[in-house]
Amino acid sequence: MVQADFSLTLLPAPRLPRSRGQTGIRTPQAGLALVVVLVLLVVIGLSSASALRSATSAEQAGNNMRLQYLAQQYAEAALRYCEAELLKPDGQRVATLRQANLPEVAVGASAAQSVWGQAASWGPAGGGAASKTRPPEAWFSSSLSAFSLPFGPECLAEQQLLPGEQRALVITARGFSPGYLADPLNGSTKAGAVVWLQSIVLLVDAPATTEPAGAARRISDRLWQRIINPPIR
């Protein structure tokens, strides 16, 4: 009988080629990808912060322009109110704008020499300006809106005696934006916006031959300007 030999012979395992990263030798490129990624993240973060800051600045600039526009609208409303009242006969005007309450200043007087140029004239007591007037809310608000302006616009009138016994009226008004807040110590603006406007109007009395006695006066000339350096900022 023939006996078969079934013994197994173990062959050596094949050796796989080793990659460069397995050599154990540190190369200059080791960790470079991580550094590049971190740098890119920093650049993206700085770019995002810059874009956010630019958007915030643009929004603030737009809001400031809106507040300035609203304040100017209210100042114009107060200016028109005072002009309309001063066109009426003296007995029909609001009490603060009657002839007896209009201070007289010299022609060409500077802001410091005028009543409107004194900060005290715009205080709660009005200082020496008895003509300081606040228009009724119905003059500058709408009945369709429930919005109420915390600080209503106000105006002040004074007169100048011109050659030939003719008089010019100097009307100064200031309007406040929504959200306006003043410093209680000096009245300066802490929040919101305030706009100062001024008009110089030359009035003529209605002709006695064609108009009844006590008729309203008319504007023969009008100069309008915005005050850049008001007594209260």
What is the tally of structural domains in the chain?
Answer: 1
Average pLDDT for 81-88: 90
pLDDT value at position 58?
78
Structure token pair of residue 22 = 């397995």
Average pLDDT for 57-76: 86
Out of 30-44, 59-73, 84-98, which region has the weakest mean confidence (pLDDT)? Answer: 30-44
pLDDT tens digits for range 133-158: 888 888 777 666 656 677 889 999 99
In a domain, 112, yes or no: yes
pLDDT tens digits for range 170-218: 999 999 988 888 887 777 888 888 999 999 888 776 554 444 444 567 7
Structure token pair of residue 180 = 């306006």
In a domain, 154, yes or no: yes
Q: What percent of the chain has pLDDT over 70?
A: 75
Out of 14-18, 66-70, 120-124, 128-132, which region has the weakest mean confidence (pLDDT)? Answer: 14-18
Q: Which domain holds residue 157?
A: 52-226
Decide: 157 and 127 in contact? Cβ < 8 Å: no
Structure token pair of residue 47 = 């770019």
**E-strand stretches of the chain:** 104-105, 154-162, 166-176, 181-182, 189-191, 194-204, 218-226
Average pLDDT for 74-94: 90
Q: Is the pTM of this model over 0.75?
A: no
In a domain, 231, yes or no: no
Out of 4-8, 210-214, 224-228, which region has the weakest mean confidence (pLDDT)? Answer: 210-214
pLDDT value at position 75?
92
In a domain, 17, yes or no: no
Selection from 90, 100, 67, 102 nearest residue 172 by Cα:
102
Kindly state the greatest CA–CA separation across the chain.
162
In a domain, 219, yes or no: yes
Beta partners for residue 158, in sequence order: 170
In a domain, 87, yes or no: yes
Single-letter amino acid code for the residue at 132: K
Structure token pair of residue 90 = 């003296």
Nearest-angstrom CA–CA distance, 190 and 125: 21
Selection from 68, 98, 94 nearest residue 189 by Cα:
68
Nearest-angstrom CA–CA distance, 121 and 117: 8
pLDDT confidence bin for 8, thresholds 50/70/90: low
- For the sheet containing 104-105, what is the strand order? 104-105, 154-162, 166-176, 194-204, 218-226
